[in-house]
A and B are shown apart, each in its own frame.
Chain A
């Protein structure tokens, strides 16, 4: 015992001495710190050869060129493409985060068939053959029963080969119900159609405009092609003026040279009052008005009688002197440009307002001129042979559209998606038996989410082509996942708002990561499976072949540069620009321009809820990747709670950061209150782009989707959704 204890101690001391004389302690100390410097659970990115691939970003209709940096076969970073006519090296927050979508957890990795109840999220993995067979079987059955017209398709766009293939398929199959996602494009197209007689997009030569009068457009918040607009804004900072007319100090308003707060919804009246001053003071372009327009006299009488600055001042809250000075500076500038479409322009708006604003451009003669509004024809490279419809198809195509577009009531409107939920729910029209959704997320983006979901539930067969598990995909029966934009070829015609026709080419930057299929190829496969006229309409082996053939001699240029621009394009000359019956610009006078009445009773709902847009929140069909959500300020989102802006004056006892219940006739949600001096008293502003229920844990269940709180309000002229807000109230939580 004795020996043992002492010896033990001795042993220990000897051991300690020996250990100290060995490299063990220093080496272990060093290695353990090195271990802590490279913890095995911290990833080490593999190095390798760097390469760059040019492509086009299709996460929004902006059509920016991108250059993707790769290391070996991994895509490392997305950067803006230098020299691209839209963005010239610049890029937005969403585009930069594209790789998080590519490699992210929300990808649908293989065709999925619903097993549980709708929206329950239980899926069965199926093969592509099974998936296509399933669709063909279902559609075939409907066709046999002569119900081909009960198939509808919601698409993010109607331009480019993929959308055209989809439309073509629907046509030869026999359904008139190809519906594009609504936006201010609809209103602008209609405006151009009615006033200029053209079927074209409106392009804005913003780079050359020297006075921009914006009626609530979020010029630097995602309106038009976002990066291009921000670039233009920088140009205006150097030479040019911007006046922002808006009831909230948006970023655009803050950056503008002048912010004119206005009572919401009265923009049309203000535009006409400005017209009043321009006409009264004879500041208009006499040449244009006299030689290239018709209906001016009627219009003149109307504005002079009904829209005097003093009267309008009462409606809009903008002083008569401001109206006059606005009119003078606008008409006095050499290249003035008036634009409208609120925020990012995702809600079409009142046609009267669009026409009133466009009238201002006409009065100063800035149509198809440098710095003005241009008529932009679609690039006409898609020249496929006319489809030959069989009897069933012809029969189906002869049926009226379910959304009412092109009907007697709304003869000039092409798509009215906002009317679809009601059409399905009310059951007044024929039922929709099958619904395709491609490049869109209507369950999230269409107003009145409750009604949209109800409508979806009434459709027995919903097919989503989404690459991501978005709200629409969750509520579908079959998901046929498309490649994401970095894995596929796709032509991208002229970005929204660009004044020159260009074509961009999206290229596969990486090989498809999962068992996904290009939507174009899926359409071709479906057509083949049908055979007959349907198959005949698609004489290509693969989408890539189709695309190459369609683009013809532009292909090489597109592959090398990433875009093709028509260098010969010039804006139309006034003499031949207008295709109205009078061959002139028409001052369309549709009577007294009534402002759109929003939903809700003023007594029950003393406040007005308006949405606002931000570059840091994608509110379209793409959900925000983690990087984007990270940039969102804590005055917008706090934890899982959305923050609404109110003026301290109308906060009624709600302190900064207080919880509250925000209610509208459509629903109520929990919010937090943020005092903002930049918002007009009486208004509540809620950010768009939050409140996703699908996607990943970085995005889902954060905040509130604005569309849950608002429903569409039909514009009496176009049928498009013109709701710019809704009555609301804030109550204690």
Chain B
């Protein structure tokens, strides 16, 4: 590639002026050019992998450092004690202040975060502006009911072991889209190890396709590049030909 450009450059140069002795020039230039190429390569890799994420994501602290461990120990029903289903089938999500007040009318301990919570929010009646790691774009309709009640999924599958966290981790917000980094995944290349590492549509699709292959009653999602074969499209057995449908966009989008 470099030689190609090299020549191009050369001819243009020739047109303009023909002062230099060619060969000597060429050898020296080659080295320098290679160095520059490497600089460019390394530089842009650094930009892409190191600086870009810093620029793309802003770091935000949760208004209150929340200790899930303490709370999980204190309640009876695990996650559902605070993150429960309403009668109409909707999911309550992050608790409102009114829920917290039940126990935290007054500070129960010496924890400065709790004191801050009581002082700033409970007494003043201000809702806590929690930053929700798993907040999906507005176009997404996610039915907790179908996944938890019907699918008997564990919270951990999507939300990871947040229930075992003692501190709220930093919330990284995508400056361009306004969504949490957790959606795209910590790994900028989009690699993931566990099911909860990313929360993009492909991740839903992946899980659904797997279940589908096992013969579960689930809706399949379109694989993003839907004209290409999907990794999970292979028939689970010769009898069951998994019919991949992409007809249910409304199921998760509003």
B79 contacts the other chain (CB 8 A):
no
A18 contacts the other chain (CB 8 A):
yes
| Cβ contact within 8 Å between B137 and A37 | yes
User: Please, which residue of chain B has its CB at the minimum distance from the CB of A72?
Assistant: B96
The listed residue with most A CB atoms (<10 A of its CB), out of B20, B25, B43, is B43
Bound form: Cα–Cα A48–B92 in Å: 7
Within residues 166 to 213 of chain B, which ones have a CB less than 8 A from any CB in chain A?
174, 176-179, 184, 188-190
Q: What residues of chain A have their CB less than 8 Å away from a CB belonging to chain B?
A: 2-3, 5-19, 21-24, 26-28, 30-32, 34-35, 37-38, 40, 44-45, 47-50
Tally the A-B contacts, defined by beta carbons under 8 Å: 121
Known contacts being A11-B37, A24-B48, is A38 close to B138, with CB within 8 Å? Answer: yes
- Count of B residues near A, CB < 8 Å? 46
| Cβ contact within 8 Å between B138 and A17 | no
Known contacts being A5-B9, A34-B137, is A23 close to B190, with CB within 8 Å? Answer: yes
| Cβ contact within 8 Å between A22 and B52 | yes
A-B contact pairs, 28 of them (CB 8 A): A2-B29, A6-B33, A7-B33, A8-B36, A10-B5, A10-B33, A10-B40, A13-B5, A14-B42, A15-B44, A17-B41, A18-B40, A18-B41, A21-B45, A22-B44, A22-B48, A22-B52, A23-B48, A23-B189, A31-B56, A34-B137, A34-B176, A35-B176, A35-B177, A37-B137, A38-B137, A38-B138, A50-B86
Contacting residue for B90 out of A5, A11, A30, A50, CB 8 A: A50
Bound form: Cα–Cα A28–B41 in Å: 19
| Cβ contact within 8 Å between B32 and A3 | yes
Chain B residues with Cβ below 8 Å from A30 are 184
Bound form: Cα–Cα A16–B20 in Å: 30
Bound form: Cα–Cα A12–B37 in Å: 8
User: Please, which residue of chain B has its CB at the minimum distance from the CB of A38?
Assistant: B137
Contacting residue for A14 out of B44, B49, B56, B178, CB 8 A: B44
Known: A23-B48, A23-B189, A27-B52. 7 other contacts (CB 8 A): A6-B9, A23-B190, A32-B176, A34-B176, A38-B178, A49-B92, A50-B88
| Cβ contact within 8 Å between B178 and A10 | no
Bound form: Cα–Cα A31–B139 in Å: 15
Chain A residues with Cβ below 8 Å from B43 are 14-15, 18
Bound form: Cα–Cα A204–B62 in Å: 63
| Cβ contact within 8 Å between A14 and B137 | no
User: Please, which residue of chain B has its CB at the minimum distance from the CB of A18?
Assistant: B44
Known contacts being A7-B33, A23-B190, A31-B56, is A13 close to B40, with CB within 8 Å? Answer: yes
| Cβ contact within 8 Å between A14 and B41 | yes
Chain B residues with Cβ below 8 Å from A11 are 36-37, 39-40
| Cβ contact within 8 Å between B36 and A18 | no
Bound form: Cα–Cα A19–B44 in Å: 5
- Smallest CB-CB A-B distances: 4 pairs: A22-B48, A14-B40, A18-B44, A15-B40
User: Please, which residue of chain A has its CB at the minimum distance from the CB of B90?
Assistant: A50
Within residues 100 to 135 of chain B, which ones have a CB less than 8 A from any CB in chain A?
none
B75 contacts the other chain (CB 8 A):
no
Within residues 54 to 107 of chain B, which ones have a CB less than 8 A from any CB in chain A?
56, 86, 88, 90, 92-93, 96
